[in-house]
Amino acid sequence: MSQPLTPSIPTLPPETPPELYPVLDAMKSTLEYLAGANNPNTKAVTAAELEAQSAATQVIIAASAGTTTIVQSDPPDTTPPGALTNLQVSSQFSSVTLSWDAFNPSPPIAFVKIYRASVDDSGQAVAVGTSRTLLYNDYVPNSNDYYYWISAVTEAGVEGPLNSGTGTQASSSFDATYTKEVLAGALTALEVQPGGLDSPAIFGTAVIQSAHIQDLAVIDAHILNVGAEKITATELSAIVANLGTVTAGVIVSPDNTFKIDLQDKEILITGPGGQVADDYTIIKNGKVESYEWTGSTHLLSKALTHIETGVANTGETVDIPGYFSSEPSIIVTPRAIQTYIGANSGQDQQLVLSADGIEEYAAGQWRFTANAQLVLAENGGTEPINWTSSTDSTATKDSPVYETEPNTTDLVVNVSLQSVRGTGTAPNYYYRQVSWTVYYRVAGSGGGWTVGATKVKALGAVVTAVSDSQSVTGLTADSYEIYISATYSDAGGTFQSGTGGYEYADPVVRTAADVDVTALASTSGTWSSTVYAAPVLASYSPPAGWSIYQVDYSWQRGYYSEIGAAFWTGTGTMGSGSSSFSSDVGPVSHSYTGTSAVWTYSYQGVAAADNWASKSRQTSSYNVNEIYGSITATVTARQAFVNVRGRIRNAQATIRTRRLITNSTTAANTLTFTDYDYTLSGQTVLGSGTLNWQAIG
């Protein structure tokens, strides 16, 4: 069995009078249901919780004529519940109490339906009531045998199977009518002490004018007046009572967690700390409110009186079941409706859910009209097309036909136009122009086409695309078919586009073999200059139509020296470098190669001090002149000599060619239908569906 409600309401004692059962059993069932004792999905909620839930699940709250847009929500769970188990029955005076085991909360159970028959045949059983708790009390005035079955019903209205194919038998206790008739006299005074009567039972119309009862279980009684400062009840979980006048006006449980105040007409249920410093629930003036204790004050957490739910199609008039003393609040959520249509992806789409025309058609009876529609916004938008024709010399180009949205009243058609025709010599081109027209007719009419707008667009001194637009206004609100036709032609005159009319080829490289030059200086002397022989480069002729517009030359040069003598001693000096040598066996040759500042030389007036230096320049001459400074050698022996060697290495020429570009005199025309802007006269309904509704009052 499920855990009892905390704070709990004790179960009804078996000897409770049947007249009192309907009142207190209904109280107990209502409190346990709203507290979610047996099913957390039936807990009462406050307006604040509803607002929080609305933000989380995109629920829509609609007033009498309000509409709200949402995107999505999950539909109710329509899974059938399982069969209930362990049905138990117990008999009292003229009544039978049924109980059963707790049920699985998924799918959520709204209530349990009770069936009864006078024979063990479920086919003859009829529904006698429902219960939102794990108990049900059935009033049966006659002492007869009965058979019972139960089934669970979900919050979506789906009923599960019966608990069993065989009914559970029960019979009420004897009819108390005869006993009541026996006790027809009046008792002037009565005092009963504990243990004075084993089974004190006073029935019927017996009148007790004065009684002092310390402990009494009353089975069935009509009590005119009870005088007491306070009545403490041990168990008030399922009392059914017609108390007449209770002078004290307050009935309190021993632990002070349950109180019935008959004067203020309220029922109070609290936690162990009582109303002063704990959570509590109060039933008063037809309302149920729960307050939470924060440690310093009480805050309202739940307030609820009446909830009804259902499903409705758009346009359906819904009569809300039950009684509402004032107009209920109605919450609507989508159940089955398309939320987006790809064909209208360029436009604003809205899901409109509302409860329209809420009215009270009878006392406490309310109705509304359900509205669940997907609509286009009434202000219009932009419809992308992005169609582009082929690029060729065709003088007239037509776009495909496109259909506008319903209720269209105005259009702005946007295009991109391009047309290029050369004079034959780049960068010269002819000016071009385009005459383009927007045609329209009512969609599906099959009638002739009407000119909506036409103009001639001069493209100007460009070879790229040009944007343009035209407006079609004053249309009767409808859906239209439209297309574009464009004709291209010369506009007169020419212009230039681009900075040059040449096409450039990859460079061509020609190389030559290295060239050596040797000069001999005397024993002591100066070598002034030598003209090197020019390297021989392979010849080059450009292809037909191409010409040489630039040649780049580059080369490397370097030197080394030899000093030699036969039977000599001495020193040799070249610039700041020196070498000592001697020989008695000759002739001997010594190689001297400078490293740092060995000698100086000049190149076109610029001093340098390196070997194999790379120099390059652009020139139209194939002759390369190198002029060198002086080299001096001093020796003391005879037959001395100095050899200076020079070399031109890696000589090459980079040849660059180009040719004049010609352009085509054949036109290249392109039409692009970019998009169109539209204006709608009002909302356009794209689709309808069903919604879930919940009435709260």
Residue position matching structure tokens 């000897």: 15
Question: Of the ranges 239-243, 375-379, 487-491, which is most confident?
Answer: 487-491
Average pLDDT over residues 104-120: 87
Q: What is the CA radius of gyration of the chain?
A: 55
Copy the structure tokens of residue 29: 């069932």
Higher local confidence (pLDDT), 328 or 4: 328
**What is the rounded CA–CA span in Å between residue 276 and residue 296?**
10
Higher local confidence (pLDDT), 588 or 104: 104
Nearest to 604 by CA among 620, 624, 576: 624
Cα torsion for 489, 494, 496, 502, to the nearest 10°?
A: 90
The letter for the amino acid at 120 is D
Q: Using alpha carbons, list the distances in angstroms from residue 165 to 114, 115, 151.
A: 14, 12, 12
Angle at 438 between CA 377 and CA 402, to 5 degrees: 50
75 has a pLDDT exceeding 50: yes
Copy the structure tokens of residue 75: 């539909």
From-to residues of CATH 2.60.120 in the chain: 381-501+667-681
Asked whether 632 and 639 are in contact (CB, 8 A), the reply is no
Higher local confidence (pLDDT), 358 or 520: 358
513 has a pLDDT exceeding 90: no
pLDDT digit string, tens, across residues 158-188: 999 999 989 999 876 555 554 455 444 444 4
| Residue 692 buriedness (CB in 10 A; 0-12 / 13-18 / 19+) | buried
Query: Could you tell me what percent of the chain has a pLDDT over 90?
Result: 26
**What is the rounded CA–CA span in Å between residue 307 and residue 320?**
10
Of the candidate ranges 77-81, 410-414, 641-645, the one whose mean pLDDT is the lowest: 641-645
Higher local confidence (pLDDT), 133 or 594: 133
pLDDT of residue 62: 42
Give the DSSP H or E segment for 242.
Answer: none
pLDDT digit string, tens, across residues 256-292: 788 888 777 788 888 887 777 888 888 877 678 888 8
From-to residues of CATH 2.60.40 in the chain: 307-378+685-696
677 has a pLDDT exceeding 50: yes
Contacts of 18 (CB under 8 A, 6+ apart): 92, 93, 94, 95, 139, 220, 240
| Residue 424 buriedness (CB in 10 A; 0-12 / 13-18 / 19+) | exposed
Copy the structure tokens of residue 67: 């509409």
Average pLDDT over residues 582-611: 32
**What is the rounded CA–CA span in Å between residue 532 and residue 519?**
11
Peptide bond into 22 cis (omega under 30): no
pLDDT of residue 457: 94
pLDDT band at 602 (very low <50, low <70, confident <90, very high): very low
**What is the rounded CA–CA span in Å between residue 66 and residue 33?**
31
**What is the rounded CA–CA span in Å between residue 276 and residue 271?**
10
Name residue 227's beta-bridge partners.
none
pLDDT of residue 505: 87
Asked whether 661 and 501 are in contact (CB, 8 A), the reply is yes
Give the DSSP H or E segment for 653.
Answer: strand 641-660
Asked whether 99 and 238 are in contact (CB, 8 A), the reply is no
34 has a pLDDT exceeding 90: no
**What is the rounded CA–CA span in Å between residue 208 and residue 230?**
20
pLDDT band at 47 (very low <50, low <70, confident <90, very high): low
pLDDT of residue 569: 38
Copy the structure tokens of residue 373: 């529609």
pLDDT band at 91 (very low <50, low <70, confident <90, very high): confident
The letter for the amino acid at 128 is V
pLDDT of residue 557: 60
DSSP 8-state code for residue 401: P
pLDDT of residue 490: 96
Average confidence score pLDDT of the chain: 72
Arch. (CATH architecture) of 307-378+685-696: Sandwich (2.60)
Asked whether 150 and 113 are in contact (CB, 8 A), the reply is yes
Question: Of the ranges 287-296, 481-490, 538-547, which is most confident?
Answer: 481-490
Give rounded-to-5 percent helix, strand, coil for the chain: 5, 45, 50
564 has a pLDDT exceeding 50: no
Average pLDDT over residues 298-322: 86
pLDDT of residue 591: 35
Asked whether 56 and 123 are in contact (CB, 8 A), the reply is no
The count of other CB atoms within 10 Å of the CB of residue 634 is 13
pTM listed for this prediction = 0.33
The letter for the amino acid at 173 is S
**What is the rounded CA–CA span in Å between residue 97 and residue 140?**
10
Asked whether 411 and 471 are in contact (CB, 8 A), the reply is yes
Contacts of 463 (CB under 8 A, 6+ apart): 420, 429, 497
**What is the rounded CA–CA span in Å between residue 401 and residue 440?**
9
**What is the rounded CA–CA span in Å between residue 661 and residue 682?**
58
416 has a pLDDT exceeding 50: yes
Asked whether 244 and 207 are in contact (CB, 8 A), the reply is no
DSSP 8-state code for residue 392: B
205 has a pLDDT exceeding 80: no
Parallel, antiparallel or unpaired: strands 606-608 and 601-603: antiparallel
DSSP three-state, residue 182: helix
Copy the structure tokens of residue 520: 């001999």
Is it true that domain 381-501+667-681 has CATH number 2.60.120?
A: yes
**What is the rounded CA–CA span in Å between residue 395 and residue 272?**
93
Residue 74: how many CA atoms within 13 Å on its side-chain side?
6
pLDDT of residue 33: 72
pLDDT band at 484 (very low <50, low <70, confident <90, very high): very high
Contacts of 232 (CB under 8 A, 6+ apart): 251, 252, 253, 254
pLDDT of residue 377: 65
Copy the structure tokens of residue 339: 């939320």
Average pLDDT over residues 459-482: 91
Q: Using alpha carbons, list the distances in angstroms from residue 429 to 403, 498, 643.
A: 38, 11, 68
pLDDT of residue 77: 78
What's 124-172 look like in SS3?
HCEEEEEECCCEEEEECCCCCEEEEEEEEEECCCCECCCCCCCCEEEEC
What's 505-568 look like in SS3?
CCCEEEECCCEEEEEEECCCCCCCCCCCCCCCCCCCCCCCCCEEEEEEEEEEEEEEEEEEECCC
Copy the structure tokens of residue 418: 């391009």
Copy the structure tokens of residue 213: 């009862």
Of the candidate ranges 207-211, 343-347, 374-378, the one whose mean pLDDT is the lowest: 207-211
Higher local confidence (pLDDT), 399 or 241: 399
pLDDT of residue 191: 53
Question: Of the ranges 30-39, 327-336, 559-568, 621-630, which is most confident?
Answer: 327-336
DSSP three-state, residue 344: helix
Copy the structure tokens of residue 45: 């909620």
Asked whether 619 and 604 are in contact (CB, 8 A), the reply is no
Nearest to 488 by CA among 448, 430, 572: 430
The letter for the amino acid at 210 is S
Annotate 346-380 with DSSP letters as a single string: TS-EEEEEEEEEEEEEETTEEEEEEEEEEEE-TT-
DSSP three-state, residue 429: strand
pLDDT of residue 660: 79
Residue position matching structure tokens 């009544």: 95
pLDDT of residue 213: 56
